[in-house]
Amino acid sequence: MNKQMRILLAAGAFAVAGAVTAQAADIAPVTGHWAKLGADYSALVYYLDEPDGFHVVVTTQQGRTSRAAVERFETVLAAGQSAEVSIPRAAGEASARIVLSNAGNHLHIAESAAAVLAP
């Protein structure tokens, strides 16, 4: 897949990503999932299904302005593999985290209850 097509697909993923907060989600390739990770963090997850596995992209944002801190994580998950993205919080508080799993025909996203229930 050429670079322009990937950029177009990524832009489409951002466009279709809704403001959905859930404890778990199963998404198809090039479908975005928006996760709220507490009061000030959010994450957008999408992936491309490539021959070597799912190319997963997670973009996190802290804050609610156009100048908010943004970080991007990328990984390749083969069938049956999982990866975790966590965001630290204050001392004594559980980290906000999401676990990404290649479930064969879709990406499974599990959000920690602490992340969903945080103020």
What pLDDT is stored for residue 92 in this prediction?
87
Q: For 61-118, how does the pLDDT look when each residue is reduced to its tens digit (9 = 90+)? A: 887 767 677 889 999 999 999 999 988 888 888 888 899 999 999 999 998 754 444 4
What pLDDT is stored for residue 2 in this prediction?
56
Phi, psi of 9, deg, nearest 5: -65, -40
CB of 99 closer than 8 Å to CB of 81: no
Q: For 18-56, how does the pLDDT look when each residue is reduced to its tens digit (9 = 90+)? A: 333 347 889 989 989 988 887 778 899 999 999 999 999
**How far is 23 from 96, CA to CA, in rounded Å?**
12
Q: What pTM was estimated for this model as a whole?
A: 0.71
What pLDDT is stored for residue 119 in this prediction?
43
**How far is 56 from 62, CA to CA, in rounded Å?**
20
Residue with tokens 């602490």: 114
